[in-house]
Structure 1
Amino acid sequence: MVGDGLWLIRGADAPIARDNGGAIANIALIATDAGPVLIDAGPSLRYGEALQALAKTLTGKPVARVYLTHLHPDHSYGDAAFAPAIVAATPGLIATLTRDGPGFADGMYRLLGDWMRGTELRIPAHVVSSPQEVVGGRTFRMLPLSGHSADDLAILDEATGTLVAGDLVFHDRAPSTPHADLSTWRRSLDTLKGLGHRAPAIGSTGSTPRCAGR
């Protein structure tokens, strides 16, 4: 646990590979009165099912909402374990997943083999279209940005001041850039830096913002 009702599920500090099942993304799990919120879902049906079980163990409730931060499959394909009605993304990301999802799935099956058994990306049915959303009495600020990909979503948990930045922020590793626009990415980082979060950074000391990224 890294905050009040907030857990960080660490991904492997490594490339996508069979020995880690593609589980290299950091996932945030946040408790609400309606049930836990997941920010990102991991790479596969198998991983999404494990997240669902962990969420129930930690909070006593099934997952109420899953936010996807961007298109990359280590963050998104675990949504196969959840009903599309509770999976949320920006309009741009929904369009991108609809267009490019099958191609990414083919690549993941080649890389991971049996880890991907039964995995079929579910297109999010909940559209993120307002600057904030409230789930079970907990308020989340929605920050649609871009740079790491064409459609990145960062989310600020107002209760703890924790920023979950997806892959807009990398810590102690080289950023992944297959769909990056570096100048736009820098502007997005300036936006995140200017948010003025309250909590200290995860894994460091001082007054830098708390931020859960890769």
Structure 2
Amino acid sequence: MEDQELIQQLQQGNAEAFDQAYKKYAPSMLTIAYTFMRDRDDAADVVQDCFATLLNKPQLWKSIRDIRWYLMRMVQNQCLGVIRKRDMQQQKDEVFQYYNKSAAEDVSLPESYNNNATPQEKENKVVSWLSALSPQRKRAMELVYQQELSYQEAALKMGISKQSIKTHLRYAKQILKSKLTSILIAAVFVTMW
């Protein structure tokens, strides 16, 4: 079946045409996805996601003029989206781990100070630091770092803009960092005297 005829059949909701499109273009899409993802299973997931989107949104077929170009571009965009999401998640995990480790374990404190604080006292300190944040900053931290929502998802949940989420997180990190710094300074003075 020629591409134009295939597109017409897809626009009419023909399931057999959908199967033919999958058989015809999935191998090429898989090759493109693999070049981005560098993992066969991830590449296959991306291709399946593309076809699932087209299956669940049949209105998309109405805008397609060149099916090959559209599918190849779709798989490329899907791969870039997955990679971006992974990078964002990795960055969030690193930031969360840094603040979690710094606040909960007081890793930079002198040994004499660390021996005096129990794990429960350290945990209480972190909880008190978080409670010192404004409700919106605390909520932003919870949504992004604990519930692992994207900035956009957190913004929608809080009813504010994505930029506002970023601002709340930046100020919350500054507050937590200043509290940690003040404890470090106090610990240095304790060990000096």
Taking structure 2 as the reference length, what is the TM-score of the superposition?
0.23
Taking structure 1 as the reference length, what is the TM-score of the superposition?
0.22
Which of the pair is proportionally richer in strand?
Answer: 1
Largest Rg, 1 or 2: 2
